[in-house]
């Protein structure tokens, strides 16, 4: 993890969950979509890589009631510290690369049945090698799900933030190719979650740089972007947009 990303999440950790707490149904619906795609059941050994504060992992644990704790992997101590103490969640301070290369061993006795990587793959530098390493941890019926934004998004960001996002966000087809190269059977589907959010709440989210792309801008550039945002949405006290996600599922093929 670069220093810039570490600083970004170090600052964001305390408010991360609040940004989405206004709509618990968003987190519930999103989590249902992920556990459905991964076909999770209580006997699975589950790992959430880049779990952040565990906002979604907690919901997964509530929904699936796993017999063993879900392993929550994240390289940001600040994010990981927000995970509540729970017998269903086992935090591990590590990056996806650490786990994929075996530099950090997972606290599970055998292979893993399900790996989730939600909105973290863009932070991984060697994505093909890391996904290959993660796929290598899977059991003979193992599944891996990468959840990511597409390269263009309808979020009400300012123009420079959209441009920067498009430059930085990896192409989902690159991730799919990496999963295929890792020997997994893959599927790529699109999921949409509707967002309705008060404009002033969204301003606070922009101010706190709730998306890592906003960390690319200086204080002055961000203030200018927010001024442009306020002007563009001056007639809209509530912002409504469709949040599109790509779900890339890989599964171990039958022997």
Ligand X SMILES: C[S@@+](CC[C@H](N)C(=O)[O-])C[C@H]1O[C@@H](n2cnc3c(N)ncnc32)[C@H](O)[C@@H]1O
> In the complex, which residues of this chain contact ligand X (CB under 6 A)?
1, 5, 9, 49-52, 55-56, 74-76, 79, 95-97, 118-120, 123-124
Nearer to ligand X, 5 or 239 (CB): 5
Min separation Cβ 112 and ligand X, Å: 15
Report the distance separating Cα 177 and Cα 187, nearest Å.
11
Closest CA to 172 of 153, 156, 158: 153
Residue nearest to ligand X (CB): 52
Task: Please list the alpha-helical segments (H only) found in 87-243.
Answer: 96-101, 127-135, 159-168, 172-181, 199-207, 219-232
Min separation Cβ 176 and ligand X, Å: 19
- Give the strand pairing for 46-49 and 89-93: unpaired
C-beta of residue 155 within 8 angstroms of C-beta of residue 126: no
Nearer to ligand X, 123 or 143 (CB): 123
Q: For the packed helices 127-135 and 172-181, what is the interaxial angle rounded to 10 degrees?
A: 50
Nearer to ligand X, 103 or 194 (CB): 103
Nearer to ligand X, 75 or 142 (CB): 75
Min separation Cβ 84 and ligand X, Å: 14
Min separation Cβ 255 and ligand X, Å: 30
Report the distance separating Cα 6 and Cα 18, nearest Å.
20
122, exposed or middle or buried, with CB in 10 Å at 0-12, 13-18, 19+? middle
C-beta of residue 122 within 8 angstroms of C-beta of residue 93: no
Min separation Cβ 7 and ligand X, Å: 11
DSSP 225-248: HHHHHHHHTTT-SEEEEEEEEEEE
Nearer to ligand X, 125 or 152 (CB): 125
Two structure tokens written together for 118 = 């939600």
Nearer to ligand X, 5 or 188 (CB): 5
Min separation Cβ 119 and ligand X, Å: 4
């Amino acid at each position: 993890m670069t220093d810039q990303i570490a600083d970004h999440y170090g600052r964001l950790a305390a408010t991360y969950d609040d940004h989405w707490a206004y709509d618990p149904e968003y987190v519930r619906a999103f989590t249902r979509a992920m556990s459905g795609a991964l076909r999770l059941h209580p006997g699975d050994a589950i790992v959430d890589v880049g779990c952040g504060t565990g906002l979604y992992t907690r919901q997964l644990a509530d929904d699936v009631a796993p017999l063993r704790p879900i392993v929550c992997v994240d390289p940001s101590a600040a994010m990981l510290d927000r995970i509540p103490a729970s017998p269903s969640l086992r935090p591990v301070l590590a990056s996806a690369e650490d786990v994929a290369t075996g530099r950090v061993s997972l606290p599970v006795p055998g292979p893993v049945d399900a790996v989730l990587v939600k909105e973290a793959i863009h932070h991984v530098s060697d994505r093909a090698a890391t996904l290959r390493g993660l796929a290598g941890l899977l059991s003979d019926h193992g599944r891996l799900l990468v959840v990511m934004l597409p390269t263009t998004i309808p979020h009400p960001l300012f123009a420079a933030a959209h441009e920067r996002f498009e430059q930085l966000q990896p192409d989902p087809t690159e991730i799919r190719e990496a999963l295929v190269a890792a020997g997994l059977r893959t599927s790529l589907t699109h999921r949409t979650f509707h967002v309705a959010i008060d404009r002033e709440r969204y301003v606070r989210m922009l101010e706190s740089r709730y998306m890592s792309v906003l960390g690319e801008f200086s204080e002055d550039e961000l203030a200018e972007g927010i001024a442009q945002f306020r002007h563009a949405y001056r007639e809209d006290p509530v912002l409504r947009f469709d949040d599109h996600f790509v779900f890339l599922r890989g599964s171990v093929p039958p022997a």
